[in-house]
Structure 1
Amino acid sequence: MSGTTLVRRVVVLCASALVLPALAAVSSAPAQADDLLYVPWSSSLPGWSDTYTPGSDDDCAAGRSSCLGKTLKELAKIHDLNGQSCSHNAIFSLAYLRMTQYYGYTRDLPDYYQDVPFANHQDAVFARYYTDAFWNWRNGNRSAVPRAWLYAFDAAKNKQVTGNGDLLLGMSAHINRDLPFVIAAVGTVAPDGSSRKPDYDKVEQWLYSATEPMLAEAAARYDSTLDDADDPFGLTYAALFQMVSLWRENAWRNAEALLAAPDAAARRLVADKIESDANAVAQGLLATQGYSLLNTTTARDTWCSAHKGDAAPVAYEYGAVTPWGY
């Protein structure tokens, strides 16, 4: 696939993200009986709250620097599980782990964020929406998993979509579905009345540089076709970044709509629209990123089996990474 072709697909997905009709059903396959049950980390932490509470005994609720280590440990646990088994969920879990490591790098840069403790808290809350969804899905507690995540996790389990499809399904569920609720929960305004949007937008200053090494590593370890659309003009990375930027801006606006709702009924209408829009994006991805009868996952799975523990081929700005752990 050429870079131009991918750009065209991305533009179509972005333009139709909010109007796509239902095209696919969620699989109802339960988690395997021999899967070990795992309690989501936020359920076992005393004092855990989506509300930023600087004086809390819980490091993540208070936004202490040590919270990042707990977040990375949980993300690495999921990635190691997926990667070592060559689950098709491995690509998104790797992407999330590396992006969170990138956040840790930027939060230690002088004056990068206006409020680092708040950013630490928001980072943990955002991660918790993904990790709770994953463990509930894996444990068979499907009623506790948002539908957008069911599309992503089920598609990976059933090997329905390409590596790009798995990555985009996870990104869409987390940004289009989760992020508005996270922003609304942690708050958009600081105690002094200033907007938290500048720190939110700071993330996009490093997302582009983080994308290339992440895609290169995912391709080297899990699916060699993942970065086939790259070309000398960098259209692949630019297209992916622009789509993420669009989704993140829409998430902020949806969070504002949640907070501006005058009552519970009005808030429910906003929440329902967030859910339905995220589901529509997922349905579109399932329709456009699926494998054909002539394009099976055999090569991808064989590649992963041989290369899942390989080193990252492109250096990350924040330093060396290990295949497993963090």
Structure 2
Amino acid sequence: MIPIRAAVPTTEEARALLTGIRRAAAVDVELDAVAAELADDEPDTALLDLVAAPFTSVADVDERLARTESYLRERGDRRAVFLTVYSRMTATVRTAIDDGAFVDPEWAASYLVAFAERYRRALVAFERRAFEALPRPWLMAFAAAARGETLVAQDALLGINAHITYDLTYTLGDVGIDPDRDAKREDHDRINAVLARLVQTAQDALAETYAATEIAGIDRLLDPLDDRLAVLGLKGVRWFAWRNAVLRADLPTWAGEPYVDWRTETVSTGAAAALLAPDVDASARLRDAETDVDAAAAFREAVRRRT
């Protein structure tokens, strides 16, 4: 068991937590409004057919995420924007597992499947309008995509935030960090390296998309991506997830679980709120410009060329 003082937030974590706390009240009101707005929408049965069943293997994750991305993209559903990045990440990790890049390939495979399961369950819950089962950062990301009032950049970053800042903590809990914690940390870091490369790819692709389409005024969303992804930054978020997993494993259950839940939801929701805040909100001019040039398609092509 770790000493209680080890659970004290770092300076960076404290800053991120304070950001989330400041935005919590407004976020709660917004989520209630989203639930009321979308509650009567009919679920997409074809989409649910693709993702209703749990993932069973790395190959299943890779193949069904790619099919889901294609399905959403063909229908102009902005939820495809995040999947453009995530499906590429999955394919990259699958290749690394096949190439023997991990200390414990079975654990790495379980990690990838569990990570994807977190996304799949969130997508299914949203599509079935089971909003009470959705983590708040995912509800914010999916609702923004459904409304169609955000930029491609925001759609990508909202999904990345929900999946990394929120889901990664619980994925580590799903697969376990013991025994052989050091080896699992090493493999966690290897997967994080893939995440870092893919997020950099997303940043580069977004920058290329907006430069090529001559959409101005987007710089503050992209420079730098880490600052918009979360107050902690991308590297900090991945370390935050590992620290959360250690806290859950080593603190007494009565203390560790609620404390980690609060940390994770507060930081991820605060980051999502920052991405949707007025200072980075898309103006009508920018949204119209994106529509005119099909920025979502341009973004997908830019990612494809880089992976």
Higher mean C-alpha deviation, range 266-275 or range 135-144: 266-275
CA shift at 1:133, angstroms? Answer: 0.4
Query: Is this contact kept in 2: 1:71–1:127, CA < 8 A?
Result: yes
1:19 alignment partner AA: L
Alignment of 1:124-143 (within 5 A): 124-143=113-132
**Structure with greater helix share of residues:** 2
Q: Which position in structure 2 is the counterpart of 1:53?
A: none
Q: Are 2:184 and 1:184 equivalent residues in the alignment?
A: no
Counterpart secondary structure, 1:19: helix
Q: Which position in structure 2 is the counterpart of 1:274?
A: 264
5+ residue gaps, structure 1, are: 1-12, 49-59, 61-66, 318-326
Query: Is this contact kept in 1: 2:209–2:299, CA < 8 A?
Result: no
CA shift at 1:103, angstroms? Answer: 0.9
Q: Which position in structure 1 is the counterpart of 2:184?
A: 196
CA shift at 1:299, angstroms? Answer: 2.4
Alignment of 1:207-218 (within 5 A): 207-215=195-203
Q: Are 2:16 and 1:17 equivalent residues in the alignment?
A: yes
Alignment of 1:1-326 (within 5 A): 16-20=15-19, 21-22=22-23, 23-24=26-27, 25-26=30-31, 27-28=34-35, 29-30=37-38, 32-33=41-42, 35-36=44-45, 38=48, 41=51, 44=53, 60=56, 67-110=57-100, 112-190=101-179, 192=180, 194-215=182-203, 224=213, 229=219, 236=224, 243-264=233-254, 266-287=256-277, 288-295=279-286, 297-304=287-294, 307=297, 311-312=301-302, 315-316=305-306
Query: Is this contact kept in 2: 1:40–1:135, CA < 8 A?
Result: no
Closer/same/farther in 2, CA of residues 292 and 14 from structure 1, 3 Å limit: farther
Closer/same/farther in 2, CA of residues 238 and 292 from structure 1, 3 Å limit: closer
Closer/same/farther in 2, CA of residues 155 and 117 from structure 1, 3 Å limit: same
Normalized against structure 2, the TM-score is what?
0.76
Query: CA offsets, 1:104-128, max 9 Å, x none?
Result: 2222334x21011110111010011
Kindly tell me the number of residue pairs found equivalent between the two proteins: 278
* Identity over aligned pairs, percent: 22
1:176 alignment partner AA: T
Query: CA offsets, 1:3-62, max 9 Å, x none?
Result: xxxxxxxxxx99853212124412122263263262685x645xx8xxxxxxxxxxx4xx
Distance 2:98 2:72 in 1: 29
CA shift at 1:189, angstroms? Answer: 2.1
2:18 alignment partner AA: V
5+ residue gaps, structure 2, are: 1-11
Distance 2:288 2:117 in 1: 33
Q: CA RMSD in A?
A: 3.6
Distance 2:217 2:190 in 1: 26
Distance 2:88 2:216 in 1: 16
Closer/same/farther in 2, CA of residues 180 and 277 from structure 1, 3 Å limit: same
Query: Is this contact kept in 2: 1:75–1:97, CA < 8 A?
Result: yes
2:42 alignment partner AA: A
Higher mean C-alpha deviation, range 120-129 or range 75-84: 75-84
Normalized against structure 1, the TM-score is what?
0.72
Distance 1:227 1:215 in 2: 16
